[in-house]
């Protein structure tokens, strides 16, 4: 295996690989993972660990893939609760009544890019193929959240909105909250057109030199979604050393990750899964 990281722990269980945040593992309060494409049974461009339903893969393969990753992470697949991601900023509170929605029961929620809970054995799931997964844990109040933060979610500051939910709904102190910015498209690969640069310049004027790399010649600008999300979380009150930032670019590593950008959309999905024990 040549998948290494200085930010996340790489786990290898037979041919199944997944990643976790050391800061979350150290609390002993959660089970969690970010999946890779290794260790499943899907075929073709879904190979082999595709965790996205409804993209054209066989449902039986996706279910078996969930069974496998849940087994190694120690989560009961019937506890999974799925989002309905639309690159928006809506965050939904879920609890035991929502378990199984999206896998053994139909999804009921619509247009949800963030999930939050204070209940144990409710396993939050969000799906990825380059967008940025944000993981949250308040070890004091025992609250967790996941948010899907592609460039649109980043511009809408879904990370800040999640912190506000922790504070508003659960009386969290932002200085207690741990965050993980997971594997996703890096500044190395996230080329954007002038309209995206303009949106970032208008939304984050003070950060533009840090998060947008303008081309020297006729090339395209690159945006650093990792650093933008890190700054958003820091401005929301999180301590810098409570924020872990990925060093893995999913677009760069097709042998390990599904990438929307690299595949032009013919791809499977990684999952972020997070559960309070």
132 lies in the site for Zn ion, by CB under 5 A: no
183 lies in the site for Zn ion, by CB under 5 A: no
Stretch that binds Zn ion, among 47-55, 77-85, 125-133, 179-187 (CB under 5 A): 179-187
Torsion angle defined by CA atoms of residues 232, 235, 238 and 242, in that order, rounded to the nearest 10 degrees: 60
Q: Which of 249, 272, 273, 276 binds Zn ion (CB under 5 A)?
A: 249
If the CB atoms of residues 119 and 252 are measured against Zn ion, the closer one turns out to be 252
If the CB atoms of residues 156 and 184 are measured against Zn ion, the closer one turns out to be 184
If the CB atoms of residues 48 and 259 are measured against Zn ion, the closer one turns out to be 259
72 lies in the site for Zn ion, by CB under 5 A: no
If the CB atoms of residues 66 and 257 are measured against Zn ion, the closer one turns out to be 257
Stretch that binds Zn ion, among 48-56, 61-69, 210-218, 245-253 (CB under 5 A): 245-253
Q: How is the chain classified by DSSP, letter by letter?
A: -----SSSEEEEETTEEEEE-HHHHHHTSEEEEEE-S-S----GGG-S----TTSSS-HHHHHHHHHHHHHHHT--GGGEEE-B--S---EEE--GGGTTBTTTB-----SB-EEEE--BT-EEEEEESSSEEEEEEETTTTEEEEEEESHHHHHTTHHHHHHHHHHHHH---GGG-EEEE-SB--TTT-EE-HHHHHHHHHH-GGGHHHHEE--SSSS-EEE-HHHHHHHHHHHTT--GGGEEE---BTTT-TTT---HHHHTT----EEEEEEE-
252 lies in the site for Zn ion, by CB under 5 A: yes
220 lies in the site for Zn ion, by CB under 5 A: no
Min dist. Cβ of residue 195 to Zn ion (A): 22
Min dist. Cβ of residue 185 to Zn ion (A): 7
If the CB atoms of residues 100 and 187 are measured against Zn ion, the closer one turns out to be 187
124 lies in the site for Zn ion, by CB under 5 A: no
Q: Which of 177, 186, 230, 275 binds Zn ion (CB under 5 A)?
A: 186
Stretch that binds Zn ion, among 42-50, 194-202, 216-224, 248-256 (CB under 5 A): 248-256
* Interface with Zn ion (CB under 5 A): 186, 188-189, 249, 251-252
């Amino acid at each position: 295996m040549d998948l290494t990281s200085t930010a996340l722990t790489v786990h290898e269980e037979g041919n199944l690989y997944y990643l976790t945040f050391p800061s979350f593992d150290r609390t002993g309060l959660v089970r969690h993972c970010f999946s890779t494409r290794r260790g499943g049974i899907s075929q073709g461009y879904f190979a082999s660990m595709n965790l996205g339903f409804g993209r054209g893969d066989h449902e039986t393969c996706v279910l078996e893939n969930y069974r496998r990753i849940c087994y190694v992470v120690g989560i009961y697949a019937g506890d999974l609760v799925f989002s309905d991601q639309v690159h928006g900023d809506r965050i939904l509170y879920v609890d035991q009544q929502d378990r199984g929605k999206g896998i053994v029961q139909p999804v009921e929620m619509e247009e949800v890019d963030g999930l939050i809970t204070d209940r144990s054995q409710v396993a939050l799931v969000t799906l990825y193929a380059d967008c940025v997964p944000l993981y949250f844990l308040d070890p004091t109040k025992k609250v967790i959240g996941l948010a899907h933060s592609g460039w649109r979610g980043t511009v809408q500051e879904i990370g800040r909105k999640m912190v506000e939910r922790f504070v508003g709904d659960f009386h969290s102190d932002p200085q207690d909250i741990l965050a993980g910015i997971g594997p996703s498209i890096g500044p190395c690969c996230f080329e954007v057109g002038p309209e995206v640069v303009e949106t970032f310049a208008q939304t984050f004027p003070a950060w533009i030199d840090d998060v947008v790399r303008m081309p020297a010649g006729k090339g395209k600008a690159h945006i650093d979604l990792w650093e933008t999300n890190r700054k958003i979380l820091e401005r929301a009150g999180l301590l810098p050393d409570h924020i872990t930032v990925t060093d893995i670019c999913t677009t760069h590593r097709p042998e390990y990750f599904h990438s929307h950008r690299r595949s032009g959309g013919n791809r499977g999905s990684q999952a972020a899964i997070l559960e309070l024990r």
